[in-house]
């Protein structure tokens, strides 16, 4: 099942919960954190719990993730206790400070899965690995694969707020170096965990052309999907992160060429050299094991 588009849905909004379900998103992230006002937190938690309960036996539709509050917020354990139940596919963990937080989450999930009669280990985790300055300095700890981690994402907003930056962009528009670095680290952590790298949100949700161009660039760099914040962004993201017919045809030719010459480590196709990294890329494009 592809994981290209993750649509954020504030969990305290009935309308958005309904709209999200009707979207073509590969996954929904019911948000209990930054999109929910402090006074609405208990209500959002109850709504997310009920919504999941109603879908406990649904196998179709988007995968169901919940973004809980950070582990040191005083809210996370109540969030997790409310939402870990059949029907939940994954937890999005914001603001971890190192992989020790992922280990803590893993142990809490084990207990809650056992209590809920779920298979222990079945709930996936999607950490947002660049939201705290501590995490940036502890980034190598995230390179140890954790079986629950199916995808990894990054964000520039909370990091710049924590640092006290006026903006995460330079005066002429591009991301400042710290955030380009954060984006690149996300690619490395995802690859070292055999997880999908999910690019951060594109805030201007009316700008479909800008989103499409930005997604194409992200895919070239190694991202496999993207966060969406509005249903209109889902189709653009799904299209941008799917291989085109031309890419599939080319990948098939590369794989076939190596199959025809099983003893070749390198070969030529249309006058261009191909070796093992190209074969790996082609197999990945075709969804074959690499």
List residues near ligand COA by CB under 6 A: 7-10, 15-16, 19-20, 31, 34-35, 201, 229-231
Least separation in angstroms between CB 126 and ligand COA: 12
Least separation in angstroms between CB 4 and ligand COA: 16
Residue 158 touches which of ligand COA, Mg ion, none (Cβ within 5-8 Å per kind): Mg ion
**What mask, x for binding Mg ion by CB under 5 A, covers residues 114 to 153?**
----------------------------------------
> What is the total count of residues that contact Mg ion (CB under 5 A)?
2
Nearer to Mg ion, 79 or 158 (CB): 158
Residue with tokens 């995490």: 135
Least separation in angstroms between CB 168 and Mg ion: 12
Tokens of 91: 């937890």
Nearer to ligand COA, 36 or 109 (CB): 36
Binding residue for Mg ion, selected from 101, 158, 185, 241, defined by CB under 5 A: 158
Nearer to ligand COA, 34 or 247 (CB): 34
Least separation in angstroms between CB 145 and ligand COA: 26
Footprint of Mg ion on 21-40 (CB under 5 A): 34
Residue nearest to Mg ion (CB): 34
How deeply is 39 buried, as exposed, middle or buried, from its count of CB atoms within 10 A (0-12, 13-18, 19+)? exposed
Least separation in angstroms between CB 25 and ligand COA: 9
Of 199, 288, 217, residue with least CA distance to 5: 199
Report in angstroms the alpha-carbon separations of 162 from 43, 130, 167.
Answer: 27, 11, 11
Residue with tokens 């803590």: 104
Least separation in angstroms between CB 155 and Mg ion: 6
Residue 67 phi, psi (nearest 5):
-90, 115
Residue 229 touches which of ligand COA, Mg ion, none (Cβ within 5-8 Å per kind): ligand COA
Nearer to ligand COA, 15 or 107 (CB): 15
End-to-end CA distance of the chain: 17
Nearer to ligand COA, 67 or 219 (CB): 67
Tokens of 252: 């098939």
CA separation for the pair 48, 53 (Å, rounded) = 9
Least separation in angstroms between CB 222 and ligand COA: 22
Nearer to Mg ion, 139 or 227 (CB): 227
- Listing DSSP states for 73-101 in one string gives GS-HHHHHHHH-STT--EEEE-S-SSHHH
Of 233, 205, 279, 180, residue with least CA distance to 4: 233
Q: Where are the alpha helices (DSSP H) in the chain?
A: 14-21, 41-54, 76-83, 99-115, 133-137, 157-163, 177-192, 208-221, 232-240, 245-260, 276-285
Question: Where on the chain is the footprint of Mg ion (CB under 5 A)?
Answer: 34, 158
């Amino acid at each position: 099942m592809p994981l290209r588009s993750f649509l954020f849905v504030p969990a305290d909004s009935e309308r958005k919960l309904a709209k999200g379900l009707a979207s073509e998103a590969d996954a929904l992230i019911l948000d209990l954190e930054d999109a929910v006002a402090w006074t609405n937190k208990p209500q959002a938690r109850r709504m997310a719990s009920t919504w999941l309960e109603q879908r406990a036996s649904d196998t179709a539709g988007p995968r169901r993730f919940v973004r809980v509050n950070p582990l040191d917020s005083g809210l996370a354990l109540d969030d997790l206790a409310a939402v870990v139940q059949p029907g939940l596919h994954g937890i999005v963990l914001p603001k971890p400070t190192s992989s020790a937080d992922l280990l803590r989450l893993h142990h809490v999930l084990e207990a809650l899965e056992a209590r809920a009669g779920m298979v222990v280990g079945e709930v996936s985790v999607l950490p947002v690995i660049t939201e705290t300055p501590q995490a940036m300095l502890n980034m190598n700890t995230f390179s140890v694969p954790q079986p629950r981690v199916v995808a990894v994402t990054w964000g520039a907003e909370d990091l710049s707020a924590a640092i006290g930056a006026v903006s995460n962009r330079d005066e002429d528009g591009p991301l400042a170096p710290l955030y380009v670095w954060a984006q690149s680290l996300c690619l490395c952590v995802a690859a070292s965990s055999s997880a999908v790298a999910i690019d951060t949100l594109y805030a201007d949700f009316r700008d479909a052309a800008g989103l499409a161009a930005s997604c194409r660039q992200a895919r070239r760099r190694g991202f496999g999907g993207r966060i969406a914040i509005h249903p209109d962004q889902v189709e653009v993201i799904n299209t941008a992160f799917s291989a085109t017919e031309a890419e599939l045809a080319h990948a098939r030719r590369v794989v076939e060429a190596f199959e025809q010459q099983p003893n070749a480590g390198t070969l030529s196709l249309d006058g261009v050299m191909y070796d093992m990294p190209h074969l790996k890329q082609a197999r990945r494009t075709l969804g074959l094991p690499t």
